[in-house]
Amino acid sequence: MIQDKTLSSRIMDVVVLFFMVLATLLCFLPLWYTLCLSLSEKSAATAGLVSLWPVGFNFTSYKTIMGDTKFLNSFWISIQRVVLGSALNFVVIVLTAYPLSKSAKDFGPRNILMWILVFTMLFNGGLIPWYQTVRSLGLINNIWALVLGNSVPVFSVILVINFFRNLPKELEEAALVDGAGPWYLLMKIYIPLSVPVLATVTLFSIVYHWNEFFNGLVLMSKSDRYPLQTYIQQMVVNLNMGLMTEDQYKKMNVLSNQTLNAAKIFIAMIPVLLVYPFLQRYFITGITLGSVKE
Amino acid sequence: MPAKSRRLPIDHFKEGSVKNRSFSKHYLLMLLPGYLWLAIFSIVPMFGLVMAFQDYNPGQGVFHSDWVGFDNFKYLLSLSDAKSIFYNTVFISVMKILGNLLVPLVFALMLNEVRSRATKKVVQTVVYLPHFLSWVILAGILLDIFAYRGPFNHLMAFFHQKPILFFARADIFPGLVIGSDVWKEFGFNAVIYLAALTGINPSLYEAASIDGAGRFQQLRHVTLPGISTTIILLTVLSLGNVLNAGFDQIFNMYNPVVYSTGDIIDTWVYRSGLLNLQFSLATTAGMFKSIIGFGMITLSYYLADRFANYKIF
């Protein structure tokens, strides 16, 4: 591109850079502040002295959490949920997407099945009938309620269908001539060629199962069955919220253990921060490739 | 398309309909787990919507509860809260839709003007992050930042403002919800605009600059027309969200003090259904939302197909 060196163009560069730095800080500083708060002394945090650097640097909050069996228990439930949920999602997404990526000519009921799938994405029975269904299956307080609760991730299935449909047909035709069956085609041709989109939907599954708190709240009646996000919702966020008057609110602000709460919040962020580099590498390709139609 | 796929009978025979039929069996087997899962957790609950026409009694179940016709709907509309809850839902979601269309657009256009690749990369990495954090975490963080003695009130003290109890002010609450949602999502929502921006042919910029167009004129005459389809598409698709004010966010941020401006259909359904056990009433309100939502999404897909040639599958 031809470089524009006029004065107005340089002013524009500066203005743009200013807003970019602002946007970056706006997203970074809240997370940084939480980390600083968690590493500060309790009294300093309560007095509102912490800004962008820890005051009275210490690890007390993190040590306390390491001895908090309820927190660790919830953390473990979340790990189990993520592993089971993501594995199940992967298998079901691939198995559902492959037949539906065929044309109606090759697979007769394809269109009607596709419409059923999309319909369930657009319309739902709402909270109460869904809750009653899960309840009547006897899944209350069962980890499988968390794994299965939100049904098939239809959006991910559609992404994978679109990706499969864009793969070159010649590969499949060549394998068909060699006598390959549908399972062989799926395992040896489609899955190895679809790593970007499969990585994307798997990362979506991981993040979804880690972040989801509501199913944990309504489907687990005992607090020792809560996944981590539900635990934090109940122990940290909700305690601040169920207050009626301004006085109560002020008192709560002073009494609550801010440093400990900040540490809990920060630990709950760590798994997302760990998968984030991979997530970022894939999600743009996944989204753009998956949404391109022939 | 239909004209192309019409085949002579002999072609069809040659391709081997016997083989295809045996494949179909395998395809159905592959689909079995997914559709079973879908049936139990998505389709069975749809039948539970009959509760909206019953005086549902958990002891008697769906099959033995009394039928009441449209009484639940009538009662719901007569509630004094109904109007404000509906208004809150539409107001918050429409403002979110507008913010989530405009702010990412401006952000993407600005980022596109940044020349250093390294700067771009750093900015993108940081601004996408909040999208992947849950509202539980973010509400926890916002509570600290907007706390009575928190950093935001400290900052405001520089401008001689008195500290504010942000989460206990019904007049501020909707702004807090809308602002924090735009903050969480603007980076991620810009991805689609950025993808469209990279699709613009660079020779158009070269031609424009040879013709003497400055950067503003290039923005006006090359960039904006280049992504106008994307803008229209995103606007149309966002229609489907008119009743989605964001349950997860509001549930984690609200409290009884701000119910008057912050209570939405979803939070009301949760409280009346699962806390106060008014199953039929909550089902009715949920059904109302599901039906309107379904209509809006269908309309938005139809318009997107019609005007932007967009198909979901």
Residues 216-235 of A with CB under 8 A from B: 218, 229-230, 232-233
d(CA A13, CA A6): 11
pLDDT of residue A238: 72
- Mean pLDDT value across residues A213-222: 93
CB B117 within 8 A of CB B267: no
- Which residues of B are less than 8 Å from A211 in CB distance? 132-134, 136-137
ipTM: 0.89
Both structure tokens of B101: 């269309």
Judged against a pLDDT cut of 70, whether residue A51 lies above it is answered with yes
Best residue in A116, A128, A214 for a mutation probing chain B (most B CBs within 10 Å): A128
pLDDT of residue B195: 85
pLDDT of residue B150: 85
**Residues A60-291, CATH architecture:** Orthogonal Bundle (1.10)
- Label residue A3 by pLDDT band (50, 70, 90): low
- Which residues of A are less than 8 Å from B294 in CB distance? 122-123
- Beta-sheet strands, E only, within chain B: 54-55, 66-67
- Which residues of A are less than 8 Å from B110 in CB distance? 16, 19-20
pLDDT of residue A4: 59
**Percent of chain A at pLDDT exceeding 70:** 88
- A107 to chain B, any CB pair closer than 8 A? The answer is yes
CB contact under 8 A, A31 and B127: no
| pLDDT, tens digit (0-9, with 9 covering 90-100), for A148-187 | 999 999 989 998 998 898 888 888 888 888 888 899 999 9
| Domain boundaries along the sequence of chain A | 60-291
pLDDT of residue B17: 45
pLDDT of residue A117: 94
CB contact under 8 A, B136 and A157: no
- A39 to chain B, any CB pair closer than 8 A? The answer is no
pLDDT of residue A2: 47
| pLDDT, tens digit (0-9, with 9 covering 90-100), for A252-289 | 555 568 889 999 999 999 999 998 888 887 777 666 65
- Shortest CA gap B82–chain A (Å): 18
pLDDT of residue B250: 95
CB contact under 8 A, B35 and A113: yes
**Homologous superfamily of B71-308 in CATH?**
MetI-like (1.10.3720.10)
CB contact under 8 A, B266 and A98: no
Poorest-pLDDT segment among B146-155, B242-251, B302-311 = B302-311
| pLDDT, tens digit (0-9, with 9 covering 90-100), for B49-93 | 988 898 888 777 778 888 888 888 888 888 888 999 999 999 999
- Which residues of B are less than 8 Å from A109 in CB distance? 24, 28
pLDDT of residue B12: 43
| Domain boundaries along the sequence of chain B | 2-67, 71-308
pLDDT of residue A23: 96
Give the chain A residue nearest B212 (alpha carbons): A4
CB contact under 8 A, A240 and B143: yes
